Amino acid sequence: MTTTLETSLTAQGAEAPVETFDLKVDDVRALNKAIHQSANGRSFAVEHPGGKHSLAVGVNASLDVEINGHAGYYAAGMNQGGRITIHGNAGVGVAENMMSGIVHVTGDASQSAGATAHGGLLVIDGNASARCGISMKGVDIVVGGNIGHMSAFMAQAGRLVVCGDAGEALGDSIYEARIYVKGKVASLGADCVAKEMREEHLAELAGLLHAAGRDGDPADFTRYGSARTLYNFHVDNSSAY
């Protein structure tokens, strides 16, 4: 399955007054409630996020959220249609289970970034820790730096682009997601192999890099994907169980 990039980082929401929440005084629940009740086209700003959890989760409209600082766990989780920017680092599980829209982290992301996400675009300008894109189901993830170990574990669909290096066991037990890595891969997980970069892959990677606002020659990347040897049970392995 190939997802279509609905928008890119350069696309901006409609001009609208910005509703600001300062989390030194305002409550995270109040922020999320306002976001959930918001119509398309609205804009929100979050000041002093201070690493608080669950910022801008469950967005279900075409709206903009700017988080000005470091976010805690599960920021922008379950996003559907929102354009959420974290000007800082993100904690565990940023954009987990995203359905559509864009989440942009200008710093680093902790582990399990984009976990189980079905669609949309997650851009991390810095590094992502372990388990980036674990069980991804259609999301596109573009990481400017390195990713940690066990990334794209059991990845089912979508694309993961890594402009730096990948940690150990990349793409372990991968299904049909496609992984593009520019730098070194510490090791490949079970059933993940390097594959040929054909024209269609160069074109799709160019599109992903462009959507993430990044330069770079797609020809410098290596594609990785499933060798498809784990799809069916092999009777010779029965003694292992």
Partner 1 sequence: MCGIAALQLRNPQLRPKMGSLLSTMLCEIVDRGPDSAGLAVYDNPELNTLGKSTLSLLGADLEISSADIDALLAELLPEGATSEVRIVGDTTLVSAEVATEDLAGAVARAYPEAVVAGRGERVTVMKSVGHPVEVAERHGLEGMYGSQAVSHTRMATESAVTAGGSHPFSVANDLCLVHNGSFSNHASVRRELKRLGVEFDSENDTEVGARYVAHRLQQGDDLETALVNLGKVLDGFYTLVVTTADSMAVVRDPIACKPAIIAETDDWVAMASEFRALAELPGIENARIFEPEPGRVYTWSL
Q: Which residues bind partner 1 (CB under 8 A)?
A: 50-53, 70, 72-73, 89, 91-92, 108, 110-111, 129-130, 148-149
The nearest distance, CB 230 to partner 1, in angstroms, is: 21
Nearest to 224 by CA among 168, 161, 164: 161
The nearest distance, CB 164 to partner 1, in angstroms, is: 14
> Is 84 or 121 the residue whose CB approaches partner 1 more closely?
84
Q: Which helix H or strand E contains 8, and what residues bound it? A: none
- Are 47 and 70 contacting, i.e. CB atoms less than 8 angstroms apart? no
Q: Which residues of 22-52 are buried (b: 16+ CB within 10 A; e: fewer)?
A: ebeeeebeebbeebeebeeebbbebbebebb
> Is 76 or 130 the residue whose CB approaches partner 1 more closely?
130
Strand, helix or coil for residue 203: helix
The nearest distance, CB 51 to partner 1, in angstroms, is: 3
The nearest distance, CB 194 to partner 1, in angstroms, is: 24
Q: Locate 23 and state its tokens.
A: 């989390």
> Is 113 or 205 the residue whose CB approaches partner 1 more closely?
113
> Is 70 or 159 the residue whose CB approaches partner 1 more closely?
70
Q: Locate 97 and state its tokens.
A: 């289970």
The nearest distance, CB 166 to partner 1, in angstroms, is: 14
> Is 48 or 198 the residue whose CB approaches partner 1 more closely?
48
